[in-house]
Chains A and B, each alone.
Chain A
Amino acid sequence: AQSVTQLGSHVSVSEGALVLLRCNYSSSVPPYLFWYVQYPNQGLQLLLKYTSAATLVKGINGFEAEFKKSETSFHLTKPSAHMSDAAEYFCAVSYGGSQGNLIFGKGTKLSVKP
């Protein structure tokens, strides 16, 4: 079965430090890949997505992710963390066709220390 693995359920960084959130998918067919962010008591908001164009994708709020087919990975990075980045981040995949749903990882909660 297709699945998404997010390494680290909780990541803590200092303000100004690099943010790296890991995501790996299990499929021989490259899927469409998404990163969503969820702030407390809010719905999920799209940060960025990979749809088979450029492998380095830039998103909102200074985040970017790189699709690496050989590693089946789509890790999310931000050069300098801000306090407002504290939230839960979800990686998701979609395979299109008649299967329209997203398959989500378990999420990584990001804490930012002052």
Chain B
Amino acid sequence: DTGVSQNPRHKITKRGQNVTFRCDPISEHNRLYWYRQTLGQGPEFLTYFQNEAQLEKSRLLSDRFSAERPKGSFSTLEIQRTEQGDSAMYLCASSLGGGGQETQYFGPGTRLLVL
């Protein structure tokens, strides 16, 4: 069990550029979640996958955001035409099962700064 990993850890980009983040969950975890955390706030849910199927998307996930989880393993989160308001910590978590009581294991996050 190597834990959830995220890459890159930090990303600085200019407004209007596209960025892509990667999350590698704990192996054999069927659920994978993306959250966004801004300064002084708790993490806010963006989307989640059960295996390769994207089951739920938050209203926070505008059409500039897209997430994939091909083959039910790693996941990518892409933000197109970044805006300064996208600056945040993007957290990935994975879990085994899906009844709601299972523990979500979080990665260290990718900190995005849009200039």
Chain A residues packing against B (C-beta within 8 Å) = 4, 9, 31-32, 34, 36, 41-46, 49, 51-52, 90, 92, 94-107
Contacts and interface: CB of A to CB of B under 8 A. Distances in A.
Given A41-B108, A45-B106, A100 B100 contact: yes
B109 A96 contact: no
Interface of B: 4, 31, 33, 35, 40-45, 48, 50, 55-56, 58, 91, 93, 98-101, 103-109
B42 A104 contact: yes
Contacts of A43: 4, 91, 106-109
Q: 9 tightest CB-CB pairs across the interface, nearest first?
A: A96-B100, A104-B42, A101-B45, A43-B106, A51-B101, A44-B106, A94-B100, A32-B101, A43-B108
A102 B88 CA distance: 18
Nearest to B4: A43
Given A32-B100, A101-B56, 7 more contacts: A43-B91, A43-B109, A46-B104, A100-B48, A101-B33, A107-B40, A107-B41
A42 B55 CA distance: 27
Nearest to B5: A43
A98 B42 contact: no
B104 A102 contact: yes
Name the prevailing secondary structure of the A interface residues: loop
Contacts of B91: 43-44
Contact of A104 (B4, B43, B58): B43
Contacts of A105: 42
30 contacts: A4-B42, A32-B101, A34-B103, A36-B106, A41-B108, A42-B108, A43-B106, A43-B107, A43-B108, A44-B43, A44-B93, A46-B103, A46-B105, A51-B101, A92-B42, A94-B100, A98-B55, A100-B31, A100-B50, A100-B100, A101-B48, A102-B33, A102-B35, A102-B43, A102-B104, A103-B45, A104-B44, A106-B41, A106-B42, A107-B42
